[in-house]
Amino acid sequence: MSTTTTPTPTPDAGPTTDAAPHRAGAGNLVHVASSTGLRVLAAQALAQLPEAFRKLDPRHLWRSPVLFLVWCGSVLTTVVAVVDPGPFATWLAVWLWLTVLFGNLAEAVAEGRGKAQAASLRATRSDTVARLLDDAGATTSVPSTRLRVGDRVVVEAGEVVPGDGDVVEGIASVDESAITGESAPVIREAGGDRSAVTGGTTVLSDRIVVHITAAAGESFLDKMISLVEGTSRRRTPNEIALSILLVSLTLVFLAAVATLPPMADYAGAPQELVVLIALLVCLIPTTIGALLSAIGIAGMDRLVRVNVLAMSGRAVEAAGDVSTLLLDKTGTITYGNRQASAFLPAPGVTEEELRDAARLASLADQTPEGRSIVALALSQGADDQDLPAGLDFVEFTAQTRMSGVDLAGGRQIRKGAGSAIAAWLGIDIDPQVVAAVDDIARQGGTPLLIGSRGPHGERAALGVVHLKDVVKDGMADRFAQLRSMGIRTVMVTGDNALTARAIAEEAGVDDFLAEATPEDKLDYIRKEQAGGRLVAMTGDGTNDAPALAAADVGVAMNSGTSAAKEAGNMVDLDSDPTKLIDIVEIGKQLLITRGALTTFSIANDIAKYFAIIPAMFVAAYPSLDALNVMGLATPQSAILSAVIFNALIIVALIPLALRGVRFRAAAAADVLRRNMLVFGLGGVLVPFVGIKLIDLLVSTIPGIG
């Protein structure tokens, strides 16, 4: 027989649901810096100029070896310009300093957005008075800053939750708009997966007792402020690896430039120090070196805009490399509110008898499933006024897996899992009823068996109610996109294998895990990781904590327990399980952006070779003038134009670094091909045009042209 997951009634039904719609721009975190328009970006850049100047401090720059080397070159060029004044050395010094400044500006603008978001969060944080509950049940008023882990506090309607914790007693409607920006209140209750409350939120109704799980200064809000401000950001493994590559390239070019003076002297074309510095700055990967930090910060910022907090940059990066997604069926792939669609009576039972029995058994069931059974019965002609006297309702429990009603006179009616009803009746179920149960399961529905026991020992299975779980619109297309990117989707459900298979086929997922226990999820994750794959999953309950901790990307719902949020490395403030797909796309966009700008930066060097090398040696080797394909005016204008382009391209790419390269669902080979075509070829061609246009202006400067 099939099993069912009929839940106990929950107060989240109705307008106070946690299923806040996912929308970019939701929440206070987003309103501060949601626009990426050029006008707004220009204003942000202007506001961050003082910070960019402060970052010229070599104690800050040494953490970025590429920019630090440009800073050293700027100092040397400035010294030369002071000792031996001349327009060429002076202009070179100016633009080398601007190169460092523009690199600092990219990082400052990215950090500035986070600081603005942090300021908005700080405005929501306030010291409150907590009513501390002692063992005797008495309360004492204390400042929230004195609360310790393990304390219990009482919070009633109109009061602010003084600290992070779990509801251990009571149920209440809570306003979380200060954290999530969602105006609709949510339900928080003891003993479930919606027990976590956040300090700074407001209780709107009833009374709850909260067990404090975070000390003052270590609350969720404090972590949010630290994260969006960037004070706790650490470089990710890929970022570190790319930094090592950039340093290696810099050392190679430094060695190459260092060997040029003796060779140039031997060739009869001695080179000035400022020319060698200009050559080095143009050859090393200055562009990506200047933008690398901003790209990483902006990646976390894009997550914040969709109301997701990443506890580390490593998690964002891992999201881009994920190859297996574990997704809950209910609420993620399906709408979750199973609806009664048909009454299938047993042989010898009329549809009216089954309809009326199912309605009576569901009158006290306030779950969406229970209400849908009553609604279906009324739509098929049941009399809403015809209620027997002396009804005694029996609530659903996880142990019995059924609910129902006891009527006056001794008749009992129950609805629930097939195996549970069969055990309660103590009889063999009619084969036609068993076939109907299996057929519903194969269709992806949930079969609910209705049984009856009479006062004189009569026992009968009256029939089956077909509960239908509807797959969300567009999910099959999204899974197809993920498949095209090489990502495997796995549906996780507590339903039996037949039901799980039918839903999986309809939704288009690659695999499913039926009747899943916490141990099953953990084992599946470890098996995938043993095969070299990165795994992402969502969860909200304490029983999800082991799997969330084991997953490479564990997204905990903000509505879930503190244990789940501590175990995951991301928290979704909207508590929307489908957000996992968006997180993967943002992670991939981060990696694609970093790769695209690295490709563009390295490709830039080709044009600079054609600009600087002929200019340096054309006096000794006139035949090198053939390499002056851009027709640059003079050797000095060629070198200065290349340096100016090298600085300006950083500014031009700041919007792209912050916004990210447009993400398109495609296989890795297709993404690489597009990057090479757009950013590789573009990185070769754009400098030729840019340097030539700059040369037309530079050549008009006295002493340069």
What six digits make up the tokens of 117?
């978001």
| Closest to 199 measured CA to CA, from 267, 141, 127 | 127
Give me Rg for the CA atoms of the chain.
Answer: 33
The last residue of a domain, from among 468, 503, 520? 468
**Cα 8 from Cα 194, distance rounded (Å):** 14
Backbone dihedral angles phi then psi of residue 152, each to the nearest 5 degrees: -120, 135
Residue-level pLDDT at 44: 78
Residue-level pLDDT at 228: 58
Give the pairing of strands 459-468 and 339-345.
antiparallel
CATH of the domain at 448: 3.40.1110.10
| Closest to 4 measured CA to CA, from 526, 445, 426, 381 | 445
CATH of the domain at 551: 3.40.50.1000
* Residues acting as catalytic residues: 328
- Between helices 497-507 and 475-484, what is the axis angle to 10°? 80
Instruction: Answer whether residue 622 is part of any domain.
Output: yes
Instruction: Assess contact for 100 and 56: CB atoms under 8 A.
Output: yes
Look at residue 230 and give its three-state secondary structure: coil
Instruction: Answer whether residue 7 is part of any domain.
Output: no
Instruction: Answer whether residue 414 is part of any domain.
Output: yes
What six digits make up the tokens of 239?
């970022």
Instruction: Assess contact for 546 and 518: CB atoms under 8 A.
Output: yes
The widest CA-to-CA distance across the chain, in whole angstroms, is 118
**Cα 343 from Cα 76, distance rounded (Å):** 87
**Cα 644 from Cα 690, distance rounded (Å):** 10
Residue-level pLDDT at 29: 35
108 exposure class (CB count in 10 Å sphere: 0-12, 13-18, 19+)? buried
Query: Residue length, the chain?
Result: 705
**Cα 330 from Cα 494, distance rounded (Å):** 9
Beta bridge partners of 492: 328, 513
What residues of the chain score a pLDDT lower than 70? 1-38, 113-127, 178-184, 192-193, 217-236, 312-313, 331, 336-337, 398, 705
Give CA angle at 14 (556, 561), nearest 5°.
Answer: 20
My answer on whether 348 and 463 are in the same domain is yes
The last residue of a domain, from among 548, 573, 598? 573
Instruction: Assess contact for 62 and 56: CB atoms under 8 A.
Output: no
- Cβ-Cβ contacts under 8 Å for 295 (sequence gap 6 or more): 590, 593, 594, 597, 657
My answer on whether 416 and 489 are in the same domain is no
My answer on whether 241 and 354 are in the same domain is no
My answer on whether 328 and 347 are in the same domain is no
CA 452 to chain centroid, in Å, comes to: 49
| Closest to 580 measured CA to CA, from 547, 556, 549, 558 | 556
| Closest to 217 measured CA to CA, from 116, 114, 127, 307 | 127
Count of domains forming the chain:
4
Instruction: Answer whether residue 21 is part of any domain.
Output: no
Residue-level pLDDT at 10: 33
Q: What is the DSSP letter of 146?
A: G
Look at residue 647 and give its three-state secondary structure: helix
**Cα 280 from Cα 260, distance rounded (Å):** 11
Residue-level pLDDT at 644: 94
Q: What is the DSSP letter of 629?
A: T
Instruction: Tell me which residue has tokens 């989707």.
Output: 489
Instruction: Answer whether residue 420 is part of any domain.
Output: yes
My answer on whether 327 and 404 are in the same domain is no
Instruction: Assess contact for 245 and 594: CB atoms under 8 A.
Output: no
Instruction: Answer whether residue 1 is part of any domain.
Output: no
**Cα 501 from Cα 506, distance rounded (Å):** 9
Residue-level pLDDT at 308: 84
My answer on whether 349 and 328 are in the same domain is no
List Cα–Cα distances, 686 to 100, 347, 605, 607, 640, in angstroms: 21, 79, 11, 9, 17
Give the pairing of strands 535-539 and 553-557.
parallel
What six digits make up the tokens of 582?
């968006």
Beta bridge partners of 406: 392, 412
SS3 content of the chain, % helix, strand, coil (to 5): 50, 15, 35
- Tens of pLDDT, residue by residue over 385-439, are 777 777 889 888 767 788 899 998 889 999 988 888 999 999 888 999 999 988 8
Binding-site residues for Mg(2+) sit at 540, 544
Domain of residue 405, residue span? 340-468
Q: What is the DSSP letter of 680?
A: I
- Tens of pLDDT, residue by residue over 321-359, are 888 989 878 767 877 667 888 999 999 999 999 999 999
What six digits make up the tokens of 344?
């299938």
- Tens of pLDDT, residue by residue over 544-594, are 788 888 888 888 887 777 777 888 888 887 777 778 888 888 888 888 898
- Cβ-Cβ contacts under 8 Å for 171 (sequence gap 6 or more): 11, 187, 188, 189, 190, 206, 208
Q: What is the DSSP letter of 137?
A: S
My answer on whether 88 and 235 are in the same domain is yes
Q: What is the DSSP letter of 330?
A: B
* CA atoms lying within 13 Å on the CB side of residue 207: 3
Beta bridge partners of 308: 572
My answer on whether 264 and 406 are in the same domain is no
Residue-level pLDDT at 38: 66
Instruction: Answer whether residue 6 is part of any domain.
Output: no
CATH of the domain at 139: 2.70.150.10
The last residue of a domain, from among 468, 493, 520? 468
Instruction: Assess contact for 391 and 407: CB atoms under 8 A.
Output: yes
Instruction: Assess contact for 391 and 399: CB atoms under 8 A.
Output: no
Instruction: Answer whether residue 102 is part of any domain.
Output: yes
**Cα 680 from Cα 179, distance rounded (Å):** 42
Nearest 10 degrees: Cα torsion 29, 31, 37, 41? -60
My answer on whether 295 and 344 are in the same domain is no
My answer on whether 106 and 135 are in the same domain is no
Look at residue 113 and give its three-state secondary structure: helix
Nearest 10 degrees: Cα torsion 670, 672, 678, 683? -170
Q: Which amino acid is at 425?
A: L
My answer on whether 591 and 694 are in the same domain is yes
My answer on whether 209 and 248 are in the same domain is no
Q: What is the DSSP string of 421-432?
A: HHHHHTSPPPHH
Beta bridge partners of 143: 129
